[in-house]
Amino acid sequence: MANSKLNDLLNYKIKLEKNALTVLQKRYLKKDEKGNIIETPEDLFFRVAYNIAKADTNYDKNVNINVTVKEFYFAMADLDFLPNSPTLMNAGRHLQQLSACFVLPVEDSMDSIFETLKNTALIHKSGGGTGFSFSRLRPNKDVVRTTCGVSSGPVSFIQVFNSATEAIKQGGTRRGANMGMLRIDHPDILEFISCKDKNDSLNNFNISVAITKEFMDALESNTDYNLYNPRNGKSSGVLSARAVFNKIVEQSWKNGEPGVVFIDTINDKNPTPKIGKIEATNPCGEQPLLPYESCNLGSINLGHFVTNKGVDWERLEKIIKTAVHFLDSVIDMNNYPIEKIDEVTRSNRKIGLGVMGWADMLLSLGIAYGSQDSLNLAEKLMCFIQSKSHLFSQELATKRGAFINFNNSVYSDGKLMRNATTTTIAPTGTIGIIASASGGIEPIFALVYKRAQCLDNEEMYEINPYFEKIAREKGFYSKELMDKIAQKGSIQNFVEIPEDIRKIFITSHDISPESHVKMQAAFQKFTDNAVSKTVNFPNSATKEDVRKVYILSYKMGCKGVTVYRDGSREVQVLNIANKKDGLQSTKEAKPRVRPNRTVGFTFLMRTGCGKMYVTVNEDDDGVCEVFTQLGKSGGCISSQAEAISRLISLALSSGVDQQAIIEQIKGIRCPSPTLAESGAILSCADAVAKALEAYNKEKMSPDLFTQETVSNSLKKKQYSSDPDANMSGACPQCPECGEMLTFSEGCVVCRECGYSKCF
């Protein structure tokens, strides 16, 4: 692939941290059919650089691309700039799908819904994530003229998309990430707000409410606002803006979802308003897109652009130019999974240049995150990146031409632009690990934490390198102190650490929620698209605290906001302080005491092994036990059935959600399936799952249970035993390597192996 003039690049040794190399080996480097790695990091960056540089030949057949190859290679090899993961993974390989985020339309017809579902499968198969607005779907129980029936509403179709995503994963390596959005003025908005009330619901979706200016005005004046039926655009009633907003706040306070997107603010900044309105974003919310648009993202590692004199603006300008050139070329080299996406993407040519390592830059400069100095620098920095990226997009337009829809854009009265947008602050997940950079524009989560995997009981720490360096230089480093910090996460109460150091080395929970919002707003002010950031709350935060952040975000011009209250989900994503050993904590599950009397039903299930009697009982807190009887006691099959029922009973009495149990054992096959009146019974385990489902249906009958009993049976909510399902609520440990997961930039990521739901 490389000619002789470029072979020297492969001899250039890239400096990678251990975690970075681990992530590259596991997720990015090429492997043969046996799973053996057949590519070095140097090979990878050369592969990507050479492939993307070939786009230059589209505009000059005689161009020598060697200069561009070297420019792209060193930008990546020096870890100054990295494109999004699909580009690193797929450029120069058979798939050649280079985009991370897509938005697909969902129109109000079965044909459109399932055409979109098919396209979603193709995108997920290629490694992309998808965003949808379900706001065009008619509400639940609305008329369906073709069948003289009634519709089931948007939430039911979100569940269909979620199930399809679950199935698609079976043929791939991970489930695709989705964003589901619904306008605040849709008649089904209350159902949507609560659709992820249980942490194992819609586990392949993030959800956000698209909030309008009309709603925010009604909220401010404490009045009702209109709901509109999307089938005909007519008013279909009113709701109290205050009551609906309180519901959103309550759910977000409870488990972080739904997020909110200020859809009119987004469309006020829509670069191509004559082409269409923006209705949805990508899965993490930072990339608003028109239907069938995709966007190519990349991030500059800000920690690499600091000198003794401050920010190295000259070097930064050079890398911005390289990045704009690179990302525009990605559009040309991309193999889009759907022809319509190819067409629309090329018509607007949106790119999203962002940053990572913001916290690293601040630490290097001795500036406290959230201080006025940090906010001032954020605005200056992002203004510089945006203005220079626009300038270089204009330069590209003179060489390559403006984007097709330029005359229908907000730029049409000025200089030609190659790209409708140039800047986005996206999650940096795994590319942040490769670059050994702090995530996006987030503060650091913890200065010191103990690793979960230790050899010979030796205590091992992950220490922020900037903090370790200054701790050793100032003479306050000690193993004992690091152990204490690992337990606390923050250093603010450690008097043995100089006060000036404590002021600079602050973590996410040392920063007020208002300061988080102000930082997001500072970057948003000079970002074409949107900003992915999490507003962290302490566990003690109130609903009123969440409410204030939402209002502040809107007033400060943010396009959306994601909140996370520490410990708000039933299993903590990452918790430094609670455990004595400094590791993350989880709820200690203990089976509740069985009362003397329980109530329930016994079901006859016809299995391939004979008649099985399954008894499902509940106490005042819900379903608590399952008994099975199959054939004569003492037999192997009977003992296995008894073991299943005992383990299920233990899980139920410990608070594990029965739906999670059903999902684990339903569909298990044995060599002797059978057909019963209710359908196929695939195994004894499958029979138990279907008995539990049958019990739930019986339980919901008003003739058998009072509403109070039903409420009691539903009030225990726990997490799914499926690691991927837990990602919608929280997962304390990485399901692949067991290390701690962090919640930031609107998603979760393992800093050890790069596992993430979103990237």
Write out pLDDT tens, residues 324-341: 999 999 999 999 999 999
How many helices and strands, by DSSP H and E, does the chain display?
26, 27
**531 in the same domain as 394:** no
Catalytic residue among 71, 257, 279, 286: 286
Q: For residue 147, with 0-12 CB atoms within 10 Å meaning exposed, 13-18 middle and 19 or more buried, which class applies? A: exposed
**630 in the same domain as 560:** no
In terms of pLDDT, which residue wins out, 637 or 131? 131
In terms of pLDDT, which residue wins out, 204 or 726? 204
In terms of pLDDT, which residue wins out, 549 or 429? 549
φ, ψ of residue 417 to 5 degrees: the values are -120, 140
Looking at the chain, the whole-number percentage of residues with pLDDT higher than 90 is 61
pLDDT score of 595? 81
**129 in the same domain as 201:** yes
**122 in the same domain as 257:** yes
Task: Tell me the pLDDT band of 581, cut-offs 50, 70 and 90.
Answer: very low
Q: Write down which residue in 246, 281, 316 finishes a domain.
A: 281
Residue 614, both tokens: 């399954």
- The pLDDT tens digits of the residues spanning 2-14 come to 566 677 787 888 9
pLDDT score of 758? 63
SS3 101: strand
For residue 131, the enclosing domain spans: 101-281
Task: Tell me the pLDDT band of 161, cut-offs 50, 70 and 90.
Answer: very high
Residue 659, both tokens: 């739906």
- The pLDDT tens digits of the residues spanning 395-441 come to 999 999 999 999 999 999 989 999 999 999 999 989 999 999 999 99
pLDDT score of 676? 66
**535 in the same domain as 467:** yes
What is the residue whose two structure tokens read 């139920």?
Answer: 652
- Total domain count for the chain? 4
Looking at the chain, the whole-number percentage of residues with pLDDT higher than 70 is 85
Catalytic residue among 101, 195, 284, 747: 284
CATH of the domain at 182: 3.20.70.20
Evaluate whether residue 724 is within a structural domain: no
**468 in the same domain as 387:** no
Within 10 Å of residue 149's Cβ, how many Cβ atoms? 10
pLDDT score of 727? 35
Evaluate whether residue 722 is within a structural domain: no
What is the residue whose two structure tokens read 């975000």?
Answer: 553
Evaluate whether residue 466 is within a structural domain: yes
Give every CB contact of residue 536 below 8 A, 6+ residues apart in sequence. 508, 509, 511, 513, 516, 564, 566
φ, ψ of residue 617 to 5 degrees: the values are -120, 155
Instruction: Report the amino acid identity of residue 412.
Output: S
Mean pLDDT within 16-29? 92
pLDDT surpasses 60 at 171: no
Mean pLDDT within 512-517? 95
As beta bridge partners, residue 618 has: 599, 623
pLDDT score of 716? 29
In terms of pLDDT, which residue wins out, 582 or 636? 636
Within 10 Å of residue 183's Cβ, how many Cβ atoms? 24
35-49, 555-569, 702-716, 736-750 — most confident range: 35-49
Instruction: For residue 284, indicate whether it is catalytic.
Output: yes
CA dist., res. 432 & res. 427, Å (int): 9
**110 in the same domain as 84:** no
φ, ψ of residue 170 to 5 degrees: the values are -60, -25
- The pLDDT tens digits of the residues spanning 338-367 come to 999 999 999 999 999 999 999 999 999 999
**296 in the same domain as 403:** yes
**549 in the same domain as 455:** yes
Evaluate whether residue 180 is within a structural domain: yes
CA dist., res. 322 & res. 744, Å (int): 28
**293 in the same domain as 159:** no
| Contact in structure between 492 and 506 (CB atoms under 8 Å) | yes
What is the residue whose two structure tokens read 């903590």?
Answer: 572
Radius of gyration of the chain (CA): 27
Give every CB contact of residue 637 below 8 A, 6+ residues apart in sequence. 609, 630, 631, 684
Instruction: For residue 286, indicate whether it is catalytic.
Output: yes
Per the prediction, the chain carries an average pLDDT of: 86
pLDDT score of 419? 98
CA dist., res. 672 & res. 22, Å (int): 44
pLDDT score of 637? 75
In terms of pLDDT, which residue wins out, 240 or 590? 240
What is the β-pairing status of strands 534-537 and 560-565? parallel
| Contact in structure between 641 and 704 (CB atoms under 8 Å) | no
Least confident of 93-97, 182-186, 453-457, 551-555: 453-457
φ, ψ of residue 71 to 5 degrees: the values are -60, -45
Q: Write down which residue in 261, 281, 301 finishes a domain.
A: 281
pLDDT surpasses 50 at 573: no
Evaluate whether residue 478 is within a structural domain: yes
- The pLDDT tens digits of the residues spanning 71-110 come to 999 999 999 999 999 999 999 999 999 998 899 999 999 9
Evaluate whether residue 744 is within a structural domain: yes
**330 in the same domain as 206:** no
Label residue 309 left, alpha or beta by phi (over 0 means left) and psi (-120 to 50 means alpha): alpha
Catalytic residue among 51, 90, 255, 282: 282
**344 in the same domain as 205:** no
18-32, 333-347, 589-603 — most confident range: 333-347
pLDDT surpasses 50 at 591: yes
CA dist., res. 378 & res. 240, Å (int): 38
pLDDT surpasses 90 at 622: no
Mean pLDDT within 174-199? 91
Evaluate whether residue 723 is within a structural domain: no
pLDDT surpasses 50 at 617: yes
pLDDT surpasses 70 at 655: yes
Q: Write down which residue in 433, 463, 492 finishes a domain.
A: 433
Evaluate whether residue 726 is within a structural domain: no
pLDDT score of 46? 96
CA dist., res. 666 & res. 672, Å (int): 15
- The pLDDT tens digits of the residues spanning 440-451 come to 999 998 898 765
| Contact in structure between 723 and 664 (CB atoms under 8 Å) | no
Instruction: Report the amino acid identity of residue 88.
Output: L
Task: Tell me the pLDDT band of 203, cut-offs 50, 70 and 90.
Answer: confident
CATH of the domain at 689: 3.90.1010
